[in-house]
């Protein structure tokens, strides 16, 4: 597990592949959510530019809106430090043209934001 966040929802991120020519990462992102008898698990595999990851971390450090979005726009993790909310969405198009989407948001506090920031800062960068 390269990045693990357990609160407010469980998010785990693993590196699958890297591309040094266009500094980017292929990540597997798993989100597990359970509240009041409702349970959801979504797994996304997508490419992210390294500079997007850097910008996400920097914006969290500066208490700005932080967005981690993949190259195709199918996955997004957004942290709004002013509204104290975490948003995520995941979209998958099947080979037969079907579209599947899951999304959610969660109220967060300053400790949650710090935990998320620390989890991303601990990621072993190669770029």
pLDDT, one tens digit per residue, over 86-103 is 999 999 988 888 999 999
User: Residue 10: helix, strand or coil by DSSP?
Assistant: strand
Residue 126 lies in a domain: no
Predicted confidence (pLDDT) at residue 1 exceeds the cutoff of 80:
no
115 occurs within a structural domain: yes
> For residues 25 and 29, what is the distance between their CA atoms, to the nearest angstrom?
12
Strand partners, 40: 33
- The reported pLDDT for the residue numbered 53 is 97
Q: Which residues pair with 78 in a beta bridge?
A: 67, 87
Domain-located, residue 94: yes
**pTM greater than 0.85:** yes
Task: Check residues 90 and 1 and name the one with the higher pLDDT.
Answer: 90
- Return d(Cα 113, Cα 77) in angstroms, integer: 13
Number of structural domains the chain divides into? 1
Domain membership of residue 36 (yes or no) is yes
Domain boundaries, position 49: 3-121
Instruction: State the average pLDDT for the chain.
Output: 95
Domain-located, residue 62:
yes
Q: Is residue 27 part of a domain?
A: yes
Cis peptide before 19 (omega within 30 of 0): no
For residue 127, is it within any domain?
Answer: no
């Amino acid at each position: 597990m390269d990045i693990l966040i357990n609160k407010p929802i469980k998010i785990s991120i693993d590196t699958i592949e890297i591309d040094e020519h266009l500094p980017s990462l292929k990540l597997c992102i798993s989100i597990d959510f359970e509240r009041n008898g409702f349970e959801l698990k979504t797994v996304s595999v997508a490419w992210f530019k390294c500079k997007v990851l850097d910008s996400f971390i920097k914006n969290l450090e500066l208490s700005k809106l932080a967005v981690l979005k993949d190259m195709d726009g199918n996955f997004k993790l957004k942290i709004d430090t002013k509204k104290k909310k975490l948003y995520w969405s995941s979209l998958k198009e099947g080979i037969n043209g079907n579209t599947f989407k899951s999304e959610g948001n969660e109220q967060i506090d300053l400790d949650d934001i710090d935990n998320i920031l620390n989890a991303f800062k601990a990621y072993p960068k190669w770029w």
